[in-house]
Each structure stands twice: as structure tokens, then as C-alpha cells.
Amino acid sequence: MPKTLVVITGPTGIGKTDLSIKLAQHFNTEIVSADSRQIFKELSIGTAVPSASELATVKHHFIHSHSVEENYNASRYESEALERIEQLFQKKDILLLVGGSMLYIDAICKGIDIMPDADPEIRAALKKQLADEGLESLRLQLKKLDPEYYKTVDLKNPNRIIHALEISIQTGKPYSSFRLNTKKKRHFNIIKIALNCERDVLHNRINLRVDKMMEAGLEKEARRVYPKKEWNSLNTVGYRELFAFFDGKITRDNAVELIKRNSRRYARKQITWFRRDETVNWFEPTDTREIINFITSQLG
């Protein structure tokens, strides 16, 4: 049997963890996480890390494996996760790749362009420029250094603009020159499954999950990492809104509502991203038996 990687993805709050546990048990296999925030050991509640019992039931990889203080990115994940997948394929014919981080899934399935590591000093200087002069000054600088990327980047997203600038400044080459979009060949088969449901149902699931996170102690968890809020890893829904509350910029109730709103927006972005991929097979989160039958039918 050829080695097969089954991707389980979909929007935040859709139920990927529950399904993946059932699939891993059925196929007697392990789970490689493709969640760019569950990877950080300081974050649990706000990233919806699988419970202790779920982690004990099925072996997971890349859960709480790194620190928020590491300069972690999709390129590094591609290298580390592929190495782990190769090791696991020595004893398993089927593996699950589970998560909703679009770039991380693309990194494994398609590969991403080799990107130089960013210089922390350049990043710090650009963040200071943002604070002192505003986003427009960074936009103008990007337009000058990389007009091609300027045409496509979300000009309202300071993190994307800063990242492009720091690479352009550090290397002396346009950031777009590193984005070749060359798909890499993988020697294992890939089956992609995405979960979705009616929009109102998903939104209700997201709202309820945020309420449960707050009840479980998300505010306390956010306060623990608050001193490190400048790290890019903490520019994350669920934390940055609470940081604004801690800074006195908004009320606690406002923060909770913003977490719900921004989570819903992120879910829509995820769905749009995955719908562009014609190789994705869509199911409802409750279609466990149908998904098992589909995977089985696709195995050589």
C-alpha cells in the first residue's frame, strides 16, 4: 500500500479535533497537527488544544512543541513536519494532518518558497516606524521596494507589509522574488478533506466556544503571556483582544465580542481559502462514517 497523508481541515470551531480522534482510532494511526498556534506550549485554552484525554487516546505531534519566543514560521514547519512524517511513515501507512492553518497545510502538501529568516532588529525598527509614522509610511516604502507584491498584498494588514519589508530590506531583493509558487513533489499520496456546515450553525458554534474558553480561564492564560505580547506568535485572535482590554483600550465585554467577531471572520477566510483548492473533498462534521468510507475507497 502506498503511504497516504489524510488532511483534515476546515474553519475554526467546526469540529476537526473530534473527527480526527475517531479517524485515528479507526485507522490505527497518529496525528500531525497543522495548527500554527497549538504548537506553542504557553497557549492552550485560546488555541483549543486537544484535551488531556484526547492526547492520551491518540498520539499527536507538534502540539506544545515550541515556545512563543521562537521565531517560528511555515518554512520551518515544512522542514520539521516533513521529517516527522517520514519517520512516522516507517511504521504507519496512513497519517492524519489536522488543522486549519492554511499556510501550514500548503507547506506540507505543496511546499513553500524558501524564505530567509527575518532580522529581529529590522523588524523592531519597522514596528517603531509603524507606531511613529503610521501604516501609510510602510505602504509607500513597500511600493518602492516591491511594487509587484504591493499590488497583491492586503494593504490593511501591517504584519504582511512589515514581513515583506523586512525581507526586502535584509536581502536587497524584492520580497516577491522569493514567492515562486513552485509546487514541490511529495512521494506520498494526499487525500484532502474539509469540514463545513451552515453558516449560522458555524457562527453559533464559534460564539459558544468563545464563551466556554472564557469560562475555562482564557483571561488568566492571556495575562500569563501578556508580558510577551510583542512577539508575533501572540498576534492571535483570543489574545490580542484581551491584551487591548488589559491596556485599558476596551472593556472586557468588548474584548469577548471582538474575539467572537474576529473568529467568525477568520472562519470565513479559511473557507474561502480551502474552496480555491479543487482537490479538497467537503463533508459535514457529523459525516464520520461517510468520511471513513471515502478515505477507504481512495486507498490504493
147 strand-pairing partners: none
Tell whether the model's pLDDT for residue 118 goes beyond 90.
no
* Residues found in the chain: 300
Per-residue pLDDT averaged across 202-210, rounded? 97
| Domains of the chain by residue range | 4-113+182-298, 120-178
CATH for 4-113+182-298, among 3.30.70.20, 3.30.43.10, 3.90.1720.10, 3.40.50.300? 3.40.50.300
Tell whether the model's pLDDT for residue 53 goes beyond 70.
yes
Tell whether the model's pLDDT for residue 107 goes beyond 70.
yes
**H-type helices in 68-194, by residue range?**
74-89, 102-109, 120-133, 135-145, 147-152, 158-171
Tell whether the model's pLDDT for residue 181 goes beyond 80.
no
Cα-Cα end-to-end distance for the chain: 6
Confidence bin at 184 (pLDDT 50/70/90): confident
Q: How many helices (H) and strands (E) does the chain have?
A: 13, 6
Task: Please name the fold of domain 120-178.
Answer: Histone, subunit A (1.10.20)
Q: What is the pLDDT of residues 23-44, one digit of tens each?
A: 999 999 999 999 999 999 999 9
pLDDT of residue 297: 95
pLDDT of residue 71: 77
Q: What is the pLDDT of residues 10-28, one digit of tens each?
A: 999 999 999 999 999 999 9
C-beta atoms surrounding 220 within 10 Å = 11
